[in-house]
Homo-oligomer: A and B are copies of this chain.
């Protein structure tokens, strides 16, 4: 990679519209914002691969707030922050405890970045992340904290921008640029997993983002496995604007047929999250177990939604690109029946792991773009300094 050319394409002081912002949803970002994050990630990855360290922070804290343990994005966040020199501190706060402005500020006196994953409650989850972002903004404006930490949404009920921008970057790498995505058939499809309670932030986020690139987007899901209604509307509007198409089907076969890209994954339907939110608000937590039991019972009607070798054969020239946000439930490896067979997993594992490997760099790029008034200058300094990671 020619660092100079790549860096000159990044925004500078005049046009960095991400400066001082949080990153909550891709539909609040311009196409240029998204390109800046994706390109920044590409440069950081190339630097790391050639052993150049992009450590720009001398000290500072990255707060890691996850509603679940050990998700992959937690490691991605830790990795991306460490790359830049931030110290990772876990924060184990429950949704709704204490005053959010107090909680967020007290943990942020030295924080430069806050990564939040909270995806269990409809509307409430996104609002929670937004309130953290607002709280630290206000505390900064009022002089209570010296720097404004950027807040990154690492998975709400609405969106998962780190995952989806990573995926756009990976597709661009595989197809030679985002401009080549135009006209490609991409299918986002539900797949069976014994768990069945997974967040739909990623399929929602993908539909909201990939429809901006003029692709022929297909969403496949069994009846009832619905996303939030506004997602369909957004996808349709985006497709119209970008010159692509958006269609829905309840047939996995149809989705895979001649597809350039397939992204299978499990999710729980919108109505489940809605009910869980209601039960939780009414302090009827013990009914949630029952609700989850019912969900799994229904889920078991769709064990055929599995990616097999035969299914992969149906894709474009039998060579469609298989993507997944990981971790993936693999038949015979992590469960009796899962989202894909062991054969399919093993045949695609390097690509799946390379896709996931972009996430730490997307996070690091988001931090630089939101924290630096002039990201182009920041990247130039890193490139000129050219600190070796270890001797």
Contact = CB atoms under 8 A, between A and B. Distances in A.
Nearest to A81: B87
Nearest to A57: B390
A89 B89 contact: no
A105 interface: yes
A85 interface: yes
A328 B53 contact: no
B390 A75 contact: no
Nearest to A351: B144
Interface string A321-341: 000001110100110000000
A92 interface: yes
A59 B55 contact: yes
A59 B389 contact: yes
B70 A92 contact: yes
Contacts of A326: 102, 106
Interface string A355-368: 01100100000000
Which residue of A78, A102, A333 has the most chain B CB atoms within 10 A of its CB atom? A102
B144 A360 contact: no
A76 B390 CA distance: 22
A88 B85 contact: no
B389 A60 contact: yes
A19 to B, nearest CB: 14
A147 to B, nearest CB: 8
Given A101-B349, A102-B328, A59 B53 contact: yes
A102 B357 CA distance: 11
Nearest to A64: B89
A95 interface: no
Interface size class of A (residues with CB under 8 A): 35 or more
A98 interface: yes
A10 interface: no
A201 interface: no
Contacts of A345: 99
Given A146-B48, A350-B144, A353-B105, A79 B110 contact: yes
B89 A334 contact: no
A268 interface: no
Interface of A: 48-49, 51, 53, 55-61, 69-70, 72, 75-76, 78-79, 82-83, 85, 87-89, 91-93, 97-99, 101-103, 105-107, 109-110, 112, 139, 142-146, 326-328, 330, 333-334, 345, 349-350, 352-354, 356-357, 360, 371, 377-378, 381, 387-391
Given A109-B356, A381-B391, 13 more contacts: A48-B110, A53-B58, A59-B82, A60-B389, A70-B92, A76-B106, A78-B89, A87-B87, A102-B327, A106-B327, A139-B353, A142-B350, A371-B390
What are the 8 A-B residue pairs with the smallest beta carbon separation, nearest first? A79-B110, A144-B353, A53-B58, A75-B107, A82-B87, A142-B350, A49-B146, A57-B390
9 contacts: A48-B146, A53-B58, A55-B58, A59-B82, A59-B389, A70-B92, A98-B327, A105-B356, A106-B326
